[in-house]
């Protein structure tokens, strides 16, 4: 018996939905199905890089089980337990605004749905576990650098309070994988790796788009009904039969969750980088951590994705609009279930209100205001964002510094400005007398606004520091961990996992994780922009 035999897998997705009738694991166009059964490719000599202890606890996996050879084999693709039903999901999507047709899990294999002690279900998925029918011309594998980033960011985002998929483990495969990191004709062998990702499900907007596009209405209906019954049960009619109003209510809830997720991205300065419809979760979770990044200096036009460097479709400032566009594609996909698109219009239109209200509430928290007063605060915010762009200003450190600004009348302008100094990258060159005067004027308005709430500096600081993180997964920090792991030293991965577990609390001795991007990282590959290569 395996020490993992106590794990209880309950595979509702594969038990209830249409399976691919073809069993051969070869790239092909799949029809009339939502998934293809496939097993991971065995790896040569797996070894663990890191495990999330929090996820072990959530999943009910003991220390003894996690330290076993069977656990390593399971999370690296060498062991499929008897109760698992491993599969790759079929979906399509719009990529960079264009319909891409069938996409699917090209390098992700779902092991099954694990039932936890509180009777919740979490899907375990291996990313980088080998080819599937959806791999097209790719090998289905992943490399260490992208896997480190995904593992760390999944857990960091959770502790930031951002809706996200999670990560259980990161393992080296012992294999070498050929990748052209910059797509410049210089491929090289890199260490292979597998991340075990965890979420209630990995259903995407594109999961609905593909059957809708192909006219597979009953497949679309079965997926939609399954998703509502299992993940939005409060919307399922007592009659047991969905109606057009059921589908409209479903869309409205996805609209709300997607808006909420993107507001959180804006709050912490996260840029997804690849907001294609196949990378948007139907649960409103951040999914697929590819070329993501955090704003270092506040630049709303920044994108971390080299593929997007010219069009900047997925830049920071455009994420809200892209969320709306993607939801339109989801709404269009659901039209065959309701007949008249007008039935879905009200649900879709709610996005603008949800995002506006959510963004105002979020920014009130960032500024330490009791509530948002549009007449006063809209212009205060816009002027602040202009100032942040006028000189390279670290977004994360600025808002932490703003919490320290005194509202005491007796404090001179130089002393009031002092907590913000740390946030500027090139103060001697860029912080001109004119710009400094602009900051002094804005701070006077800000102080007056805070005073009008009657909030003490201590209370304001506590409120602001609860929503403005001190530690975020800066690209250069992840790259340092990748560099060390590539040489066999995984201590930096463990250190980052630990510090990102408490991103809002100052941690003595961890100051190096809360520093501005160093000059050497300004243009270094992996520290500024990244490609989709993994």
Residue 482 clears pLDDT 90, i.e. is over it: yes
Q: Which residue has the higher pLDDT, 3 or 279?
A: 279
Cα gap 214→282, rounded to integer Å: 20
Cα gap 513→534, rounded to integer Å: 25
Return the SS3 of 28: coil
Which residue carries 């709430």 as its tokens?
Answer: 453
**Secondary structure (H, E, C), 287-298:** CCCCCCEECCEC
**Residue 278 a catalytic site member:** yes
- The secondary structure of 258-274 as a DSSP string is HHHHHHHHHHHTEE-S-
Mean pLDDT of 248-255: 98
288 phi-psi bin (left φ>0, alpha ψ -120 to 50, beta other): left
pLDDT band of residue 389 (cuts 50, 70, 90) is very high
pLDDT band of residue 110 (cuts 50, 70, 90) is very high
Residue 534 clears pLDDT 60, i.e. is over it: no
Mean pLDDT of 405-414: 94
Cα gap 92→217, rounded to integer Å: 15
CB 198 within 8 A of CB 59: yes
- Single pTM value for the model: 0.96
pLDDT for res 41: 96
Alpha helices in 285-432 (DSSP H): 319-338, 342-367, 374-390, 395-402, 413-417, 427-430
Mean pLDDT of 470-498: 97
CA neighbor of 202 nearest in space, from 103, 292, 118: 103
Mean pLDDT of 436-455: 97
Over the stretch 78-105, which tens digit does the pLDDT of each residue have?
999 999 999 999 999 999 999 999 999 9
User: How many other C-beta atoms are found inside a 10 Å radius of the C-beta of residue 387?
Assistant: 18
Cα gap 436→442, rounded to integer Å: 10
pLDDT band of residue 1 (cuts 50, 70, 90) is low
CB 176 within 8 A of CB 143: no
pLDDT band of residue 530 (cuts 50, 70, 90) is confident
CB 125 within 8 A of CB 202: yes
CB 326 within 8 A of CB 205: yes
pLDDT for res 526: 83
CB 65 within 8 A of CB 172: no
Over the stretch 112-149, which tens digit does the pLDDT of each residue have?
999 998 889 999 999 999 999 999 988 999 999 999 99
CB 140 within 8 A of CB 132: yes
Q: Exposed e or buried b for every residue in 175-212, given b needs 16+ CB within 10 A? A: bebebebeeeeeeeebbbbbbbbbbbbbbbbbbbbbbb
Over the stretch 158-184, which tens digit does the pLDDT of each residue have?
999 999 999 999 999 999 999 887 666
- Least confidently predicted of 171-185, 228-242, 429-443: 171-185
pLDDT for res 421: 97
Which residue is catalytic, options 85, 278, 288, 297?
A: 278
* Share above pLDDT 70 across residues of the chain, in percent, rounded to a whole number: 99
Quick one: DSSP state of residue 307?
G
Return the SS3 of 48: strand
Cα gap 171→497, rounded to integer Å: 15
Cα gap 507→505, rounded to integer Å: 6
Mean pLDDT of 503-508: 98
Return the SS3 of 370: coil
Over the stretch 8-56, which tens digit does the pLDDT of each residue have?
998 999 999 999 999 999 999 999 999 999 999 999 999 999 999 999 9
Over the stretch 329-344, which tens digit does the pLDDT of each residue have?
999 999 999 999 999 9
pLDDT for res 182: 67
pLDDT for res 118: 85
Chain center to CA of 12: 25
Longest dimension (CA), the chain: 77
Name the token pair of 255. Answer: 């609209």
Over the stretch 346-359, which tens digit does the pLDDT of each residue have?
999 999 999 999 99
Over the stretch 293-304, which tens digit does the pLDDT of each residue have?
999 999 999 999
Return the SS3 of 169: strand
CA neighbor of 1 nearest in space, from 108, 109, 81, 66: 81
Cα gap 413→392, rounded to integer Å: 21
pLDDT for res 527: 85
CA neighbor of 470 nearest in space, from 426, 425, 500: 500
Which residue carries 């103060």 as its tokens?
Answer: 427
* Share above pLDDT 90 across residues of the chain, in percent, rounded to a whole number: 93
Alpha helices in 368-521 (DSSP H): 374-390, 395-402, 413-417, 427-430, 433-453, 457-465, 475-486, 491-499
Quick one: DSSP state of residue 129?
B
CA dist 378 → 281, 385, 470 (Å): 31, 11, 25
User: How many other C-beta atoms are found inside a 10 Å radius of the C-beta of residue 132?
Assistant: 30
Return the SS3 of 223: helix
Cα gap 105→107, rounded to integer Å: 6
Residue 232 clears pLDDT 60, i.e. is over it: yes
| Mean pLDDT estimate for the chain | 96
Cα gap 521→478, rounded to integer Å: 11
């Amino acid at each position: 018996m395996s020490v993992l035999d106590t794990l209880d897998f309950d595979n509702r997705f594969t038990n209830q939905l249409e399976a691919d009738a073809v069993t051969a694991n070869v790239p092909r166009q799949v029809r009339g199905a939502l998934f293809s059964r496939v097993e991971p490719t065995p790896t040569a000599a797996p070894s663990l890089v890191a495990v999330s202890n929090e996820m072990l606890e959530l999943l009910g996996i003991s220390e003894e089980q996690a330290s076993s050879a069977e656990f390593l084999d399971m999370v690296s693709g060498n062991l499929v337990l008897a109760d698992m039903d491993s599969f790759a999901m079929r979906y399509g999507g719009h990529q960079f605004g264009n319909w891409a047709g069938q996409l699917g899990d090209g390098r992700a294999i779902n092991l099954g749905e694990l039932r936890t002690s509180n009777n919740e279900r979490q899907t375990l998925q291996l990313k980088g576990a080998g080819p599937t029918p959806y791999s097209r011309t790719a090998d289905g594998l992943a490399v260490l650098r992208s896997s480190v980033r995904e593992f760390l960011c999944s857990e960091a985002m959770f502790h930031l309070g951002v809706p996200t998929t999670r990560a259980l483990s990161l393992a080296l495969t012992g294999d070498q994988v050929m990748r052209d990191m910059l797509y410049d004709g210089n491929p090289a062998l890199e260490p292979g790796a597998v991340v075990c990702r965890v979420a209630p499900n990995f259903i995407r907007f594109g999961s609905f788009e593909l059957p809708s596009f192909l006219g597979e209405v009953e497949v679309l209906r079965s997926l939609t009904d399954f998703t509502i019954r299992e993940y939005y049960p409060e919307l399922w009619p007592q009659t047991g039969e969905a109606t057009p109003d059921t589908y409209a209510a479903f869309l409205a809830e996805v609209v709300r969750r997607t808006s909420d997720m993107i507001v959180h991205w804006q709050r912490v300065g996260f840029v997804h980088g690849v907001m294609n419809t196949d990378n948007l979760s139907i649960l409103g979770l951040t999914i697929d951590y590819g070329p993501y990044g955090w704003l270092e200096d506040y630049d709303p036009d920044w994108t971390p994705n080299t593929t997007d460097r010219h069009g900047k479709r997925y830049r920071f400032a455009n994420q809200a609009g892209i969320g709306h566009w993607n939801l339109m594609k989801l709404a269009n996909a659901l039209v065959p279930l309701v007949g008249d698109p007008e039935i879905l219009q009200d649900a879709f239109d709610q996005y603008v209100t949800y995002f506006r209200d959510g963004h105002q509430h979020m920014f009130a928290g960032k500024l330490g205001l009791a509530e948002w007063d549009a007449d006063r605060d809209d212009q205060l915010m816009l002027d602040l964002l202009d100032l942040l762009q006028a000189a390279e200003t670290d977004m994360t450190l600025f808002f932490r510094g703003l919490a320290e600004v005194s509202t005491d009348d007796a404090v001179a302008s130089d002393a009031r400005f002092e907590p913000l100094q740390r946030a500027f990258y090139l103060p001697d060159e860029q912080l001109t007398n004119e710009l400094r005067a602009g900051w002094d004027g804005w701070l006077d308005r800000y102080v007056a606004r805070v005073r009008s709430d009657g909030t003490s500096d201590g209370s304001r600081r506590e409120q602001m520091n609860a929503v403005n993180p001190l530690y975020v997964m800066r690209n250069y920090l992840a790259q340092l961990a990748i560099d060390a792991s590539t040489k066999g030293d995984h201590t930096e991965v463990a250190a980052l996992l630990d510090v990102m577990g408490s991103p809002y609390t100052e941690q003595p001795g961890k100051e190096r994780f809360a520093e501005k991007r160093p000059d050497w990282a300004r243009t270094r590959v992996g520290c500024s922009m990244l490609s989709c290569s993994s």
